Structure 1
Amino acid sequence: MARSSFRSGATEALCTWQRDRLDEHESRFDAAMQITSRLGAHWQDSHAEFGFWTPELVGSVPADAVELELLTATEPVDLTAAEQTVAFDRQLVETRREGEFTWAAVDGPRPGTRDQLGTLYRLSYEHDGSRETITDPFADSLPFGAYGPPELYDMDRLDEQRDDRAYFQALAEDGVAPHAHEDDGVPRFEPATSMLEVHPGTATESGTLAGLTDIFDRIGQKQRDGEALTPAERNFTGYDAVQLMPLAPITQNEDELGYWLPEAEREAQLTATVRRPDMINWGYDIVISGFGTVNPAILESRRPDELVDLIATLHTMPDPVKVVFDIALGHADNGALPLLNDEWFAGPGMYGQELDYTQPVVRAGLLELQRRKMDFGADGIRVDGAQDFTNWDPEAEEEYHDDEYLAEMDRVTQEVAGVEYRPWMIYEDGRPWPRSDWELASTYRTLIEEHPHAYQWGPVTFAHNTPALQTFWATKWWRVREVADMGENWISGVANHDTIRRGTQLEPDPPFSQPQINRYLGDSRQEQLERAYNNPATTILFHGFMPGCPMDFTHANMRAPWGFVRDTDAVWNLKVLAEEKNFPEWQIRDRDFEDDRFFTRLKEWGFESREQLSAFLTRLSDTVSMTDYDKAEMAALLSVVGTPVGDDLSVEDLEQLGLDWMRDIAHFATLSHWTDTQDDDRTAFDLEVRRFRHEHDWVTTALTGEDTLNYVYPTDGTVLYYGYRTDSETGEELLFVGAMEGVAETVTPSHLVDVDESGWDVALASPGLAVEDPGEPVPLADSQAVLFSRSTANEP
């Protein structure tokens, strides 16, 4: 095996380049924007360049004591194996320190590719008699998770070999979009017309991006061949965008074994047991370090190529589909503390650690991590929790929203397949949340007004929306009306990863003084919840009639279970579990619990029925409140109240039970278990509605003075929405009426709006609803709706 060697001249050139950047910019942030672009490991055809930001070493560790540790496997490594022992050739190469940065250019390391593991690397030094290491926050590949050494990866090759290069070339040829409001000539991707949200970890049996690629590849081939789609496949189609929940490397459970386990370390060799990362997480418990690459737990091959393969597959569908990344950079999990130097953090916060956006290198570094992630080829970016990007003003003694940073996020450009572009920008921003009056005070338009090309999550999309509650569509009327009047730059719809989870947390049998459940949605609690988030009336309303970009969630489309899934938290897992106490009531049918495929771990604890599980979770929730989350006291209390898990519980038992719950729920929620339960008529209807939107995309714009949206007053037990829209260019008219909730009601659609009754056709109608003419009485039950259309464009 060829040995690596230090390139002194090339390393000195890196140091000189860094000094020049600092000298030529008065602003440290402007200089850092350039310097961070060269941090990390970069393969240069014949050698590699490594750059680290190391302020923690200045003044405490001599520069000549810091070495670059290179680990190159001596034999081919099967990254799909569950566990294996690997021998690595180990080299320590000298580095150069320039101020707060450490650099090295090296001949001889092996770049990672689709087919081979590249050289692993990290900084290494002796300190107080022990060897310490520093990882790379700007890593391009982390095959063993964020806590294992990063991998040198050939990112240029990955870009050069992608199958959707023509897709990006077409963007360059089209030029700047009319709505982009840019004056630098950089094109921006257009917004989508409708979007599907996907959680990669539970969307397929494998829980990987490769599994998703297989689904869309199969669908695309059927579409090319004119073959019919299965009901389950329909649930993935009819959209022109897919939003992937966060893909970044995540924290790990500190009580678990881990995936990088060094066993023997000598001067020239290191032996390690490496395990296939298998963390279960909804994606938001990120550690910032390695943000620019992909969580290896959702990579079947453990190669970043999988993400490019998925994107290219979607881009080359018969009807190309945009890809939107969910970017969570508003916080860091506490698991980030051992991975990053202290400069990154502003202190503890609601979700773990607040990031210091006022630190110039941190500010630039986060933007650089965003750029690298989006350079995998995404068309759009959804900024998670934009209201959380805040800084502390010591003079005013209050936090302020860092809107300039959010604007910097909007200005980042991508380069894919040789084409520079900007993505479609989406912000989730509910400010002044968490102020107590935020739901009333939030306009959901703060960032749209600053960036007219951008979108925001609209008011009926946020996590607190629970359409399973009775009177939801009456009390939310004012927000629905806002969507109609000003929602053309809003993401709309009611089904997403947050809203379904909040629905699951509702009290199934609330006291009379509390909001009640809408029993008209279905005969069982499971049906009530499922229909609340996959509702024919709201589907027609948001996809067929209202402006903006409606978004659905795969699990809502499938009417499959969904919850708060993560096995990565050893500290708060039980508290999270206690908050899920109503999950069995809402999402587990008796037959599901009895199914041998499901809840195998929980059954080993002694749970024999759904009722037993539900009762235990209620007691667990009570002990959390009674003990202020003292786990020892919780274990003692649960040991004496008589539960299936025994009368001698330890803290370790409870923590293991929490992990087993998370893993069983993730397995239960995997969509492959629910493909055979899909209803042919319902999935055909949902797809028909989505196709209607794309064939009538003028509805994406806000209602005008000629249009109407209203509700029948007095309600008399039923919330009936009705509306009329017309398109001045095509002459097309739409007439909508829907029973959003309540008792069945018979209504004559044309009597609600002053329009002529002739010439209308039924464009969309809820499954099972027989209707032909808007001038005839229509019996509407809860969740039923009809949309009529007619065109006067060709009339004399």
Structure 2
Amino acid sequence: MVTTKLKIQLLEEETHKLIEWVEQIEHSDHTVFEKAQKVATRLGAHYRPEDGLTEIGFWTPELESDIIQPKNIYLEVFTPKKDIDPTLPTQRVVFRRDYVQLEKRGEYFWGVIAGLKAGTKESFGSFYWLRYLDWETNEVKAIGDCLAYSLPYGVYAPAEVYNLHSLQANRQDMAYFLRDKSEENSDEIVYVHPPHNILQLHVNTASPDGSLAGLTELYQRIGKKLVQKEKLTPAEQNYIGYDAVQLLPVEPTVEYRGKHELGHGFFMIDDKDLDEMDAESEGIEHEPGNIKITLKKPDTQNWGYDIVIFGSSATNPSVLRTLRPDEVIEFIETLHNFPTGPIKVIYDLVYGHADNQGLDLLNGRFMKGPNMYGQDVNHQNPVVRAILLEMQRRKNNTGVDGIRVDGAQDFKFFNPISGEVEYDDQYLQEMGNIIQEIGLSKRHLFAIFEDGRPWPTEGWEEMSTYRNIIDFNPRAFQWGPLIFAHNTPCLKSFWERKWRRVCEVMQLGENWITGCGNHDTLRRGTQVDPNLDINWNLGKTLPEVLNNAYDNPSIGLLTYGFSPGLPMDFINCTMRAPWGFLRNTDDRYGVKVVSEEAGGFLDWQIIPETYNYPDVFPRIKAMGFTKLGELRQFVTALVDALAESNYDLDEVAHICQRHLGHDGESEEAKNEAKVRKSAAELQKLNGPDKSQVLTELSVAKLKEFAKAFMEDAHELSNVWLHQETLNADQVAYNLALRRFRQANPWLQRNLKESDRFNQIQDPEKTLFYGVRYTTVEEDSETEPYGVAMITHMRGEPMTVKIGEWLDLDLDQWQIAIASPGLKIDDLKAFELHDSQAVLLEKKML
């Protein structure tokens, strides 16, 4: 049984102290933005362990006017009266509901409250949100805490009061944070050193059970094996040899707003218990007391980038097995204390755009207007700007070592002085300058920026320098030109087209993120038209081509054994698991999204043998789509029908019914098929063994299809389903390359004038080769260490004479790493086939 010691109530004296602090800030000489930054640190719910009180602050400019009576704006609190089991799919829980009147000051509401229960690792705390009566509609609406520390039931549910102090005090990696701090200067701010390489992970598909706790257990198991010198499986080997991991965004994302079997959302209050307006008093009817609430464990599936901004200071509950923020800390401390050496953790942050659901959750000052992703974020509003940076500061303080800023080119504003739209480089710099504070440790985090300006201008990929951030912040890293979303190494012409960019990597790339496979490029690979000039040396089927293009021995050796920059891999590439734009969160546009994603997913990542496995695509098969060919054809027709109807689902359902129903063989239908592409594609499904489901397609059935496909694809993308198909030699080769890179950190630097890099390029083949050396002092007697490499990037076999091409005395060189299956009897002349590569190192006397 959960109890609270004190009655939940506002303490006036303590509240006035808080308000006095705010007023001192407001009356100071600081700029408007600086004032907003200081005030933002007190927004949200802050539990004070020293006296058990909780400070509460909300920014509510939409309630600034005095139209709404004070009695109709209040804090609603739900405190569980019994323990909540976070592992249960659903449960009915009794809560004590209380109401507290907060103090209004301008655009803010403040309060210091007694009696609120703070959540811990072991138990849930009180839940809270602000309620008010909408004077236009007479509806009782809620304002959630956009700066919450814990949102266990999602962004549409009340936030949880959390004991952040106990969470930080109990962490097991404090020594890690203090290791670079000087004893003489307690206020020293340490710069986090960049890692040597990065592994990119999507928690739901990289973890055996889809949670951060599952990833923590995985690394603990691997660490234990390494200590005991036990052999790792190929799948486990794919997770080591990195000194950093980058999590795809773990902030709260959009949620499914349609109705499910229990109602709506994850925190369901019965209709009879919802607050309503009393017509006589024109006030909200509410009485403290016990109510039952239905809780549904969040099961949102999303690739992470459909952010709502709201709650970005917290962690998406769908990646938390326990729904506890402690799960994040335990993952970080496990990697920091990894037995073979610390592994850094990097957050992938999305603050440049928001999904349209952000309009429902945030006040109107947060957004500037629509864009291709949903909404532009209004970074120019000083309070919004301060809150966004405060969200990031709170997230940084979970103990990560670096950040990656998604879509940095999206941070733009109209400058009335210049009359032009400009990039907000100042804001990007502020993101990189946020100081992390963990105990006595203060650190500047390592920062990566994805910035492809002038994207989305036509031709941007050739126009972009990929250096705009680096030019004003030399400590920063940017995504380089070969790792952006337009990376398609499955095409024969790719390396020929990218030769200029490859040379730039060699000359300028030391502050670029390098590599080939990531969450964007692997998805981009599935969007390639199969009718283009594919490099069929990479495989006999499209899935083989895709896997060998993004987990390629030649590209891997070029990246890790020779190229400047900071290499990054994506676990779905090295595990050869499917991937795509995965989300089960969209009731409105779900059919459109699936139509755009499903065709490439099925063509490039699924073969009939895979589809025929009983456990693959179970939801789609249960609907009646049991044949892969039929499913592919239906998706093709669906794309055309949606385009022709301008995404009118009613019209799409009607055309499906006309051509796949009882009248599908009519002359009218056949004539329409002569002039309408979607009709012609649907007609191809009218065979003698047509599945029954095709005759039953309504709007509801189309939405069911979209959700089922996404959930099946998400399930299939879990990398652990594919561990038995891994090639042990390829995995060992990749690990050897990673270890070589870590042993040779000098490779990150740009090539010197004395180094060489060149290509052999003709219509039949493309090979890269080069040599580079370490730097030694002029008066040093030490010979420089060197590496030489030759990589076959595509095409026909060729006899290699690397000694002649690079003017090397091969008696002084030896093989460091060779791609799997490559046998070299004589370094003077040997044959290389497509995707084969060899790295030589200079013998050191």
Query: TM-score band, normalised by the shorter chain?
Result: over 0.9
Corresponding position: 1:230 with 2:233: yes
Which residue among 253, 256, 267 is the counterpart of 1:260?
267
Q: Label 1:305 to 1:718 Cα distance change in 2 as closer, same or farther (>3 A).
A: same
Q: CA deviation at 1:440?
A: 1.6
Match of 1:311 in 2: 332
Corresponding position: 1:631 with 2:649: yes
Amino acid at match of 1:47: L
Match of 2:835 in 1: 783
Match of 2:569 in 1: 552
Q: Per-residue CA shift, 1:44-101, capped at 9, x if unaligned?
A: 0121000000111111323454222111011111121111111111111121111111
- Distance (Å, rounded) in 2 between the aligned partners of 1:64 and 1:651: 44
Amino acid at match of 2:516: V
- Judge conservation of contact 1:760–1:773 (CA < 8 Å) in 2: no
Local SS of the residue matching 1:162 = coil
- Judge conservation of contact 2:147–2:310 (CA < 8 Å) in 1: yes
Corresponding position: 1:61 with 2:79: no
- Judge conservation of contact 2:208–2:215 (CA < 8 Å) in 1: no
Corresponding position: 1:657 with 2:709: no
Amino acid at match of 2:131: S
Q: CA deviation at 1:343?
A: 1.0
Q: CA deviation at 1:443?
A: 0.3
- Judge conservation of contact 1:762–1:771 (CA < 8 Å) in 2: no
Structure 2 regions of 5+ residues with no counterpart? 274-286, 660-681, 686-690, 777-782
1:187-226 equivalences under 5 Å are 187-226=190-229
Q: CA deviation at 1:272?
A: 1.0
Q: Per-residue CA shift, 1:528-560, capped at 9, x if unaligned?
A: 000000000010100111111110000000111
Amino acid at match of 2:363: N
Amino acid at match of 1:301: T
1:239-318 equivalences under 5 Å are 239-256=242-259, 257-263=264-270, 264-265=272-273, 266-318=287-339
Which residue among 382, 405, 412 is the counterpart of 1:383?
405
Corresponding position: 1:524 with 2:513: no
- Distance (Å, rounded) in 2 between the aligned partners of 1:716 and 1:389: 42
Q: CA deviation at 1:731?
A: 1.5
- Judge conservation of contact 1:195–1:550 (CA < 8 Å) in 2: yes
Match of 2:141 in 1: 132
Q: CA deviation at 1:173?
A: 3.6
Match of 1:180 in 2: none
1:140-219 equivalences under 5 Å are 140-173=149-182, 185-219=188-222
Q: Label 1:126 to 1:494 Cα distance change in 2 as closer, same or farther (>3 A).
A: same
Match of 1:39 in 2: 43
Structure 1 regions of 5+ residues with no counterpart? 177-183, 511-515
- Judge conservation of contact 1:7–1:104 (CA < 8 Å) in 2: yes
Instruction: State which structure, 1 or 2, has the greater radius of gyration over its C-alpha atoms.
Output: 2
Amino acid at match of 1:272: I
Amino acid at match of 1:166: A
Which residue among 559, 573, 579 is the counterpart of 1:562?
579
Report percent identity of matched pairs: 40
- Distance (Å, rounded) in 2 between the aligned partners of 1:637 and 1:537: 48
- Judge conservation of contact 1:762–1:772 (CA < 8 Å) in 2: no
Corresponding position: 1:726 with 2:773: yes
- Distance (Å, rounded) in 1 between the aligned partners of 2:825 and 2:816: 10
Which residue among 118, 124, 130 is the counterpart of 1:117?
124
Q: CA deviation at 1:171?
A: 2.7
- Distance (Å, rounded) in 1 between the aligned partners of 2:800 and 2:570: 31
- Distance (Å, rounded) in 1 between the aligned partners of 2:183 and 2:467: 29
Local SS of the residue matching 1:526 = helix
- Judge conservation of contact 1:234–1:684 (CA < 8 Å) in 2: yes
Corresponding position: 1:372 with 2:390: no
Amino acid at match of 1:281: N
Which residue among 819, 825, 829 is the counterpart of 1:766?
819
- Distance (Å, rounded) in 2 between the aligned partners of 1:787 and 1:132: 64
- Judge conservation of contact 1:619–1:638 (CA < 8 Å) in 2: no
The Cα RMSD (Å) is: 1.6
- Distance (Å, rounded) in 1 between the aligned partners of 2:117 and 2:378: 35
Which residue among 44, 50, 56 is the counterpart of 1:50?
56
Amino acid at match of 2:250: L
Which residue among 745, 751, 755 is the counterpart of 1:697?
745
- Distance (Å, rounded) in 2 between the aligned partners of 1:279 and 1:582: 23
Q: CA deviation at 1:42?
A: 0.4
Q: CA deviation at 1:779?
A: 1.1
Q: CA deviation at 1:394?
A: 5.1
Corresponding position: 1:617 with 2:635: yes
- Judge conservation of contact 2:182–2:188 (CA < 8 Å) in 1: no
Q: Per-residue CA shift, 1:129-155, capped at 9, x if unaligned?
A: 443221100000011111100000011
- Distance (Å, rounded) in 1 between the aligned partners of 2:36 and 2:29: 9
Local SS of the residue matching 1:370 = helix
Q: Label 1:610 to 1:398 Cα distance change in 2 as closer, same or farther (>3 A).
A: farther
- Distance (Å, rounded) in 1 between the aligned partners of 2:798 and 2:422: 49
- Distance (Å, rounded) in 2 between the aligned partners of 1:248 and 1:164: 23
Amino acid at match of 1:409: M
Amino acid at match of 1:557: T
Local SS of the residue matching 1:136 = coil
Amino acid at match of 1:738: T
Corresponding position: 1:680 with 2:751: no
Amino acid at match of 2:57: G
- Could you list the runs of 4 or more consecutive aligned residues of structure 1 that deviate by over 4 angstroms after TM superposition? 394-398
382-391 vs 412-421, greater mean Cα deviation: 412-421
- Distance (Å, rounded) in 2 between the aligned partners of 1:173 and 1:635: 68
Q: Label 1:420 to 1:567 Cα distance change in 2 as closer, same or farther (>3 A).
A: same
- Distance (Å, rounded) in 1 between the aligned partners of 2:707 and 2:414: 36
- Distance (Å, rounded) in 2 between the aligned partners of 1:584 and 1:175: 60
Amino acid at match of 1:123: L
Amino acid at match of 2:299: D
Q: CA deviation at 1:437?
A: 2.3
- Judge conservation of contact 1:73–1:117 (CA < 8 Å) in 2: yes
- Distance (Å, rounded) in 1 between the aligned partners of 2:160 and 2:323: 11
Q: TM-score, normalised by structure 1?
A: 0.96
1:493-512 equivalences under 5 Å are 493-510=515-532
Amino acid at match of 1:72: T
Match of 1:108 in 2: 115
Local SS of the residue matching 1:763 = strand
- Judge conservation of contact 2:814–2:843 (CA < 8 Å) in 1: no
Match of 1:181 in 2: none
Amino acid at match of 2:336: H
Q: CA deviation at 1:27?
A: 1.2
Q: CA deviation at 1:397?
A: 5.7
- Distance (Å, rounded) in 1 between the aligned partners of 2:292 and 2:411: 42
- Distance (Å, rounded) in 2 between the aligned partners of 1:757 and 1:676: 40
- Judge conservation of contact 1:68–1:104 (CA < 8 Å) in 2: no
Amino acid at match of 1:589: I
Q: CA deviation at 1:771?
A: 1.6
- Judge conservation of contact 1:501–1:563 (CA < 8 Å) in 2: yes
Amino acid at match of 1:323: V
- Judge conservation of contact 2:188–2:442 (CA < 8 Å) in 1: no
Q: TM-score, normalised by structure 2?
A: 0.90
Match of 2:612 in 1: 594
- Judge conservation of contact 2:190–2:443 (CA < 8 Å) in 1: yes
- Distance (Å, rounded) in 2 between the aligned partners of 1:400 and 1:270: 52
565-574 vs 113-122, greater mean Cα deviation: 565-574
- Distance (Å, rounded) in 2 between the aligned partners of 1:451 and 1:463: 24
- Judge conservation of contact 1:749–1:778 (CA < 8 Å) in 2: no
- Distance (Å, rounded) in 1 between the aligned partners of 2:644 and 2:578: 30
- Distance (Å, rounded) in 1 between the aligned partners of 2:257 and 2:755: 57
Match of 2:280 in 1: none
Amino acid at match of 1:119: S
Q: Label 1:787 to 1:770 Cα distance change in 2 as closer, same or farther (>3 A).
A: same
- Distance (Å, rounded) in 2 between the aligned partners of 1:113 and 1:152: 9
Amino acid at match of 1:461: I
